Chain A
Amino acid sequence: MKNLLQREPLLALMVVALVLAVGAKAPVFLSGASLANLVTDSTLLLMLALAQMLVIVTRGVDLSVASNLALSGMVAAMLASHSPEAPLLAVVLMAAVTGLALGLVNGWLIGYLGLPPIVITLGTMSVYRGLVFVLSGGTWVSAHQMPPAFIAFPLTRFLGLPHLVWIAAAAFGAFLFIARFTRFGRDLFAIGNAPQCAGYIGIPAARRLLWVYGLSGLVAGLCGYLWVARYAVAYTEVAYGFEFTVIAACVIGGVSIAGGVGSVTGALLGALFLTVIGNALPVLQVSPFWQSALTGLVILAAVLVNARGGMKRSRQILPLNKRQLEQAAH
């Protein structure tokens, strides 16, 4: 527990230190507009990282979020372009429901059939990505085909902040509540910590896993609409490779891949950290090709740091030789 309490303040400090360090080299980074841009950029990664955090906590992983996002976004974009008079809420709901359905497929295979999450989500990742092509026929949905209300929604300001930031804040609050105060959330931690014991005390693991992957899909669906609307384009390779960035944000935020350990604030800080790095590179005039390598280095560093206080894989319970026997006898 003490370890956990020390991790988040340290990560928050690192994020602030990084921002200040970049600001020292390039003061324009610390301007209000730049920081507001930073927060807006981090919203999609944050929402996906929150949902992924719950999945990783159950000892699983959802590699299909990016493809889910792409498919739901394409569904929303095609719906909006074919029937521009449809209300925005209907379009967003359609994207969210598509994402939920795709996530529930994952959840059923993993929860009720008990199949390994990494293999299942690896498979659904490629199936969903292919379905984007099948649905769109390989064509793009570009900005002029989308109704103006569709594109304008994410960045329209409400009380000074873009809708994206409000939605992300609401998602953060909701996930904080789910993870700490609902039976669903607490059961997820129990399933990840000790699955057999969770089964013994009557936690419906299959149902919980079904709905955690469903939730991850739902968030991916919503983010699908937000992504497609924000960047005003929908095509097959939307968010290609983004799932690894999401997992990186979770790992940096202290979520243990072995399950049972993780916090919502950690996911938030991890997402912020990665966004700061991503936004700092052009400001520092570092080639954008370095982003991928830096992300990889940061993941490795984060896992190394987090593993320091981790559990050993096997415990020695019997003395190995005579010397240890004598030492134990004293």
Chain B
Amino acid sequence: MNTTAMPTPQSNKPTSRYTILDREAVKLKNVLGRWETLLALLLIVVFAINSIVLPHFLDLYNLLDGTQNFSEKALIALPMALLIICREIDISVAGTLALSSVAMGLAMNAGFPPAALPLVALAVGSACGLLNGVLVTRFALPSIVVTIGTVSLYRGLASVVLGDKAFTGYPQMMADWGQGYFFGIVPREFVVLLAFAAVFAFMLHATSWGRRIYAIGNNPDAARFSGIAVDRYRLVLFMLTGAMAGLAAFFLTGRIGSTRPNIATGWELEVITMVILGGVSIAGGAGTIGGVLLAILTLGVATYGMSLANIPGIYMTIVVGVLLLATIALPRLLRARSTRK
């Protein structure tokens, strides 16, 4: 076959008047219009309001202690963001957490050494995630229905094992990790969260795996035909979400020191709110870990401020719900672009 040689360009200047860049130009206008910038502004505003209104808010020790409230949820929000970017959803994370916590209690009572307990939690969490993933990939079931089923299953299994009792008497190692501090002020949970956030950010934004996840979210069929093992990625992401839920169970159980049947109720809503508030589109294919982190911090600061002001927890639920609605509705009202396909 004859191939004609490509004509070599005389100079490196583009020959057309318009150029389309691979990435957005780093201009102030582009930066200001991004969701993450608005979120950072919101964080600053919430922080400022809390500092002015509440007397003990601006204390470093208080703030760092407050991070413990959202650290476990944030650990689950990181892989959940990846899942939602892939156009899947996992409502069963709270059930997985409960089941992992119960498994740790059983292991502790069976005489397992304390160092094995986090491994037990991770294993149980991964197994729960594996079931979700197999049902979604192997049988092509919609993830929302599968996870609605599995949340009842997991939480039900946890209730069956616990009954109306609770597991207590966890080893000191778990309390050290759940309630302990590095250098006396920074909670260990927060450090672990930051470490995982860095890992997830690197994975999503700097590796080809991350690019493929975006591709799957944008157009799963095209991704499949381009040679991306879509089902394998989905399975791994579900297992990862389960594993992180298991890890969060380890930290939460260490922090509160017991396993009760109502552990982590309502957490699915909060985790999903963190992710959606962080700019991850529910339709898939868009979102950053930085945005999710900013959303985590914003929600954390807001709820911590409300708890310092002695506002009952149910009002926080209303605020979280209103924030979620406003987050979704505002861009639509401002730009009039429907998300319905």
Q: List residues of A whose CB falls within 8 A of some B CB.
A: 61, 109, 113-116, 118-120, 122-127, 129-131, 133-134, 138, 195-196, 236, 244, 247-248, 251, 257-258, 287, 289-297, 299-300, 303-304, 307, 310, 312-314
Contact = CB atoms under 8 A, between A and B. Distances in A.
B330 to A, nearest CB: 10
Given A133-B315, A195-B340, A299-B149, 5 more contacts: A118-B282, A127-B322, A130-B318, A247-B148, A248-B152
Given A130-B315, A294-B156, A115 B332 contact: yes
Contact of A307 (B140, B160, B162, B269): B140
Interface in B126-173: 135, 139-142, 144-146, 148-157, 159-160, 162-163
A240 B155 CA distance: 14
Contacts of B149: 248, 296-297, 299-300, 303
A258 B142 contact: yes
A126 B163 contact: no
Contacts, number: 152
A289 B153 CA distance: 11
A126 B321 CA distance: 5
A114 B283 CA distance: 12
22 contacts: A113-B332, A114-B340, A115-B329, A116-B282, A123-B324, A125-B269, A126-B318, A127-B321, A127-B325, A134-B315, A138-B314, A247-B145, A257-B144, A287-B163, A289-B156, A292-B153, A292-B156, A293-B157, A296-B152, A296-B155, A303-B146, A312-B140
Contact of A292 (B139, B152, B320, B332): B152
A120 B339 CA distance: 12
Nearest to B225: A314
B156 A314 contact: no
A195 to B, nearest CB: 7
Contacts of B156: 289-296
Nearest to B154: A296
A83 to B, nearest CB: 26
A305 to B, nearest CB: 10
Contacts of A295: 152, 156
Shortest beta-carbon contacts, A-B, top 10? A293-B156, A296-B153, A292-B156, A296-B152, A130-B318, A114-B338, A299-B149, A126-B321, A127-B321, A123-B324
A290 B160 contact: yes
A306 to B, nearest CB: 9
Contacts of A122: 269, 272-273, 321, 324
B333 interface: yes
B131 to A, nearest CB: 9
B282 A244 contact: no
B67 to A, nearest CB: 23
Given A114-B338, A290-B160, A300 B314 contact: no
B317 interface: yes
B315 to A, nearest CB: 6
Tell me which of B139, B221, B224 has the highest count of chain A C-beta atoms within 10 A of its own C-beta: B139
Contacts of A293: 152-153, 155-157, 159-160
A130 B282 contact: no
A127 B317 CA distance: 7
B339 A126 contact: no
A143 B297 CA distance: 44
B221 to A, nearest CB: 4
A296 B159 contact: no
A287 B165 CA distance: 14
Interface in B237-256: none
Contacts of B341: 195-196
B306 interface: no
B111 interface: no
A219 B146 CA distance: 26
Given A289-B163, A303-B146, A119 B318 contact: no
Contacts of A116: 282-283, 328, 339
A133 to B, nearest CB: 4
A19 B322 CA distance: 44
Contacts of A303: 141, 145-146, 149
Which one of B140, B148, B150, B314 has the highest number of Cβ atoms from chain A below 10 Å of its Cβ? Answer: B148
B160 A124 contact: no
A295 B151 CA distance: 10
B314 A114 contact: no
Contact of B282 (A113, A119, A292): A119
A312 B221 CA distance: 12
B95 to A, nearest CB: 8
A8 to B, nearest CB: 19
Nearest to B95: A296
B276 interface: yes
A52 B127 CA distance: 32
B160 A120 contact: no
B325 A307 contact: no
Nearest to B324: A123
B7 interface: no
B184 interface: no
B144 A118 contact: yes
Contact of B150 (A127, A300, A314): A300
Nearest to A244: B148
Nearest to A313: B140
